Amino acid sequence: MVKSILGRPEHVEPATVATLVAQLQLPEAVAAILVRRGHADPDAAKAFLRPRLESLHDPWTLPDMETAVERIASAIDDGEPILVHGDYDVDGVCGTALLTRALRELGARVEPFVPNRLEHGYDFGPAGLAAALERECGLVLTCDCGIAAHETVAAAGDAGIDVVISDHHTPSPELPPAVAVLNPHRDDSGYPEKVLCGAGVAFKLLQALFQRRGRAASDLYKYLDLVGIPTIADLVPLTGENRVLARFGLKVLERTPNPGLRALARVSGLKAGRPISAGQIAFVIGPRINAVGRMGEAMRGVRLLLMEDEAEAAVVADVVEAENRLRREVDRATLDEAKAILEESFDPESQRAIVLASQDWHPGVIGIVASRIVEQYYRPTVLIALDGDCGRGSGRSIPGFHLYDALQACESHLLQFGGHRAAAGVQIRADEIEAFRDSLNAVAHEWLAPQDLLPRIRIDHELSMTEVSAELWRFLNHFGPYGQGNPKPVFLARNVALRGAPEVVGQEHVRLRIEVGDGATPEAIAFGQAAELEWLNESSRVDLAFQIGVREWQGVEYVQAQVLDVRPSEEAWASYES
């Protein structure tokens, strides 16, 4: 595991913090974090702490929205079948279910379709066009795909089928010849939120369509669970409009009217009626929906999210759970193989990007494994599953390295590629992999400095351990949901005394008991840091970078410091980033 750089808290004016404390009745630590995150104005701070659905942006500011709404409305009025074509990941599956449910509510004849990852490949391609022809659909509406499907969109037009694209992936300078292209990344887009997920773009389309059909905005809110899940799971920044969609999506999901989502929560071990966190979406719900498309037939996931019968949904959810168990097994084996290759060949001095390939890898799990490699080696990573002389690759990146732009610089070695800043997919010939590896590494050497190859833990605020309390934890809950662009606040406590010897929990975690006076011994848990026991002992004085969470034991919740980094106090401050 790469050792992190600790970033000092940004300086804030005490008077600005004091104003927030006085006007909003906040703890000083909470007010200081708000200021550091750009919410120094009391009204801005209130809007951040209590986001409202009324603050969602006007959907009509997306280019081509008028044309898209008119074409879909015409199909509804004429009883013309619409093929809703999604992608096979959690974003595309949820977005397809979202569009299908909402359009059917408006009276549309909708046929959902998601390609099979192994048989059809990514994007609106020949399989999607064949499905539209077979079902006699005069309109194809894409979700989370289509922006790179120039040839298929043109072929659809030749066959008399109109295409409306809703997508969030980076477009090329020339857009596909569709009737309308909804994408906030378009060069001519003035839409304020550029980084919606695919289901988020679909939701904006539905906002405009429902408005045009005379429906109240609130009529759409029951579908926000199908927007919140992919907004969190697809790793778009949870700021601005995305944070609103994610926050209210979690509220709807807590008591979702969707039988499929209720069944999925049950097999995931989530308790009915209990609050669901962004972390549970990212690590529990999202992976299960993804597993359907990775290991089997993604349309099963769509059908689950469209089901109205509880018993049928329970049966399908059990199948989804079985596929997720299989996915984890394949994931683990692939990660072990990738790490074995790197243990023999990885040179941290010369390799600023990692490209690995194997004939034995399942294309459904290489994206997950690429993420694990990034976590451990902190390098942009592309893993390629070969099938004969061609391969499909999936890449993940680090902050400061725009993966899509990097692939564009290497496009002479690729058959096809698409994606965005943090994640991307490629198709490549086997005989081009070595040249692609050299090319991507050259780009990484040009774009990344040595310090960019070290993860950073950005400290939000210095805090005494005596200030760690249930009250502070309750205030911090208003900062969520946490994720990309809105990380959980990180605190620094310096010169902390331990009370008793550190204790190993499980195989790799360490429990620390902290001396804060008055006999109090708040608990701190350092996940995955058992190696630190080499120097930690009961007399250690340490600096802790930590987040505040809770641990439930026998129905009682205890506030807990969740340690991200522990260092000797005499060494740590000198190692902080200036």
Q: How many CB atoms lie within 10 A of CB 149?
A: 26
Of the candidates 275, 304, 320, which is a domain's last residue? 320
Whether residue 482 sits in one domain with residue 509: yes
Measured distance CA(368)–CA(356) in Å, rounded: 14
Whether residue 124 sits in one domain with residue 108: yes
Measured distance CA(489)–CA(337) in Å, rounded: 35
Q: What is the pLDDT of residue 533?
A: 66
Please provide the DSSP assignment of 347-401 as one string: -TTT-SSEEEEETT--TTTHHHHHHHHHHHH-S-EEEEEEETTEEEEEEE--TT-
In terms of residues, how long is the chain?
Answer: 578
User: Mind listing the pLDDT tens digit for each residue in 453-471?
Assistant: 998 889 999 988 888 888 8
Measured distance CA(499)–CA(65) in Å, rounded: 62
Of the candidates 285, 320, 355, which is a domain's last residue? 320
Whether residue 511 sits in one domain with residue 373: no
Q: What is the pLDDT of residue 524?
A: 84
Within-domain flag for 340? no
Q: What is the pLDDT of residue 578?
A: 45
Within-domain flag for 186? yes
Within-domain flag for 333? no
Query: With a cut of 50, which residues of the chain have pLDDT below it?
Result: 1, 519, 572, 578
List beta partners, residue 559: 550
Whether residue 530 sits in one domain with residue 517: yes
Whether residue 251 sits in one domain with residue 160: yes
CATH number reported for the structural domain that contains residue 173 in this entry: 3.90.1640.30
CATH number reported for the structural domain that contains residue 446 in this entry: 3.10.310.30
Whether residue 544 sits in one domain with residue 519: yes
Whether residue 501 sits in one domain with residue 395: no
Give the chain's domain count: 3
Of the candidates 320, 337, 355, which is a domain's last residue? 320
Helices (H), 89-197: 90-105, 126-134, 150-158
Nearest to 368 by CA among 402, 307, 326: 326
Pull the structure tokens for residue 445.
Answer: 């050497």
Whether residue 133 sits in one domain with residue 44: no
- Phi and psi at 38, nearest 5°, equal 90, 20
Whether residue 87 sits in one domain with residue 164: yes
**76 with 108: CB under 8 angstroms?**
yes
Within-domain flag for 341? no
Q: How far from each other are the two terminal CA atoms of the chain, in whole angstroms?
A: 23
Measured distance CA(263)–CA(120) in Å, rounded: 28
Tell me whether the omega of the peptide bond preceding residue 481 falls within 30 degrees of 0, making it cis.
yes
φ/ψ region of 541 (left if φ > 0, alpha if ψ in -120 to 50, else beta) reads beta
- Phi and psi at 377, nearest 5°, equal -110, -15
Q: What is the pLDDT of residue 155?
A: 97
Measured distance CA(409)–CA(441) in Å, rounded: 11
Nearest to 399 by CA among 456, 351, 356, 347: 456
Measured distance CA(282)–CA(299) in Å, rounded: 21
Angle, alpha carbons 242-409-444 (nearest 5°) = 80
Residue-number span of the structural domain to which 555 is assigned? 5-50+459-575
Measured distance CA(149)–CA(285) in Å, rounded: 29
Pull the structure tokens for residue 18.
Answer: 């004091």
Within-domain flag for 334? no
CATH number reported for the structural domain that contains residue 498 in this entry: 2.40.50.460
Q: What is the pLDDT of residue 314?
A: 96
Within-domain flag for 172? yes
Which residue in the block uniquely carries the two structure tokens 């079948």?
Answer: 81
Q: What is the pLDDT of residue 571?
A: 55
Within-domain flag for 279? yes
Whether residue 222 sits in one domain with residue 96: yes
Q: Is 570 exposed, middle or buried (0-12, 13-18, 19+ CB in 10 A)?
A: exposed
Whether residue 105 sits in one domain with residue 26: no
**395 with 379: CB under 8 angstroms?**
no
**208 with 166: CB under 8 angstroms?**
no
Measured distance CA(235)–CA(422) in Å, rounded: 8
Pull the structure tokens for residue 442.
Answer: 């050259």
Nearest to 251 by CA among 268, 229, 233, 266: 229
> Structure pTM?
0.87
Measured distance CA(510)–CA(495) in Å, rounded: 18
Nearest to 549 by CA among 279, 286, 284: 279
Pull the structure tokens for residue 295.
Answer: 């290991």
Pull the structure tokens for residue 177.
Answer: 């010849």
- Phi and psi at 405, nearest 5°, equal -65, -40
Measured distance CA(383)–CA(339) in Å, rounded: 12
Angle, alpha carbons 69-75-77 (nearest 5°) = 100
Measured distance CA(59)–CA(387) in Å, rounded: 43
Within-domain flag for 336? no
**52 with 110: CB under 8 angstroms?**
no
Nearest to 546 by CA among 527, 528, 561: 561
Whether residue 436 sits in one domain with residue 405: yes
